[in-house]
Amino acid sequence: MTRACIFGAGGGIGAALVEALAARADVSCVYAASRTPPAASDTVVPLTCDVTDEDSLAQAAATMKEQGAPDLVIVATGALEFADGAGPERTLKKLDAGRMAQLFAINTIAPAMVARHVLPLFPREGRSVFAAISARVGSISDNRLGGWHSYRASKAALNMLVRNFAIEMGRTHRESVIVSLHPGTVDTPLSEPFQNNLPEGQLTAPAQAARNLIAVLDGLTAAESGGFFAWDGQPIPF
């Protein structure tokens, strides 16, 4: 039986992942980690956790170690807009060091700190999975339009860290799968300001996005650890 943990369980994708995993017969427990976690149920265990606070992450990891360590962890946190409500930069003139630091703290450093605290909980024998929600715009080789400087760079850095973690964990946890995932454009507050320009059919409901991502993870093996995959299972070049 799988024990799962979703960081960012209060967000659109995170909440949908909790619901989808909790409904599976092969999942015995879903730790739902968020600053405002959902209510407890027979399967869902709420964890109050701020991914930008390392003490909070350490406490969450200690709780899971005591109650039963997860073997599936998904980090579903992220930010596109800045704290003051400004949208992503489209030109060099809009670059600001403080704003860049905000997005790197949420999109890059937070998932890395989650990994630091939860990957040591994974069993050395058997399959274990760690996935971080990234974005196709974090692909350097796929970048044709430019812009969105901080968001693109923070997700590209996340992808590099995920690859590093996969290499390191692969030395001791032979069946571990550690990957970045692109969920597509999902109907959440993060994408809402940009939905008007989407072609018809390209906006995915959170519940469907969660099913897509879980299906991708179900199909991955240790040979694909360190990769970057889209919602349909197709690899994305770094």
The full set of domains in the chain, from first to last, is 2-230 (3.40.50.720)
Phi, psi of 87 (to 5 degrees): -80, 175
Show Cβ contacts of residue 188 under 8 Å, excluding neighbours closer than 6 positions: 11, 12, 13, 206
pLDDT of residue 194: 61
pLDDT of residue 227: 98
For the stretch 124-179, pLDDT in tens is 999 999 999 999 999 999 999 999 999 999 999 999 999 999 999 999 999 999 99
Assigned token pair, 36: 């405002």
pTM given for the model: 0.95
CB atoms inside a 10 Å sphere around CB 207: 17
DSSP state of 188: S
Beta strands in the chain (DSSP E): 2-7, 27-34, 44-48, 72-75, 128-133, 176-182, 185-186, 203-204, 228-230
Strands 176-182 and 128-133, bridge-based pairing? parallel
pLDDT of residue 145: 92
pLDDT of residue 200: 66
pLDDT of residue 188: 78
Report CA torsion sign: 134, 139, 142, 145: positive
Which residues are bridge partners to 89 per DSSP?
Answer: none
Place of tokens 């390191």: 168
Low-confidence ranges of the chain (pLDDT < 50): none
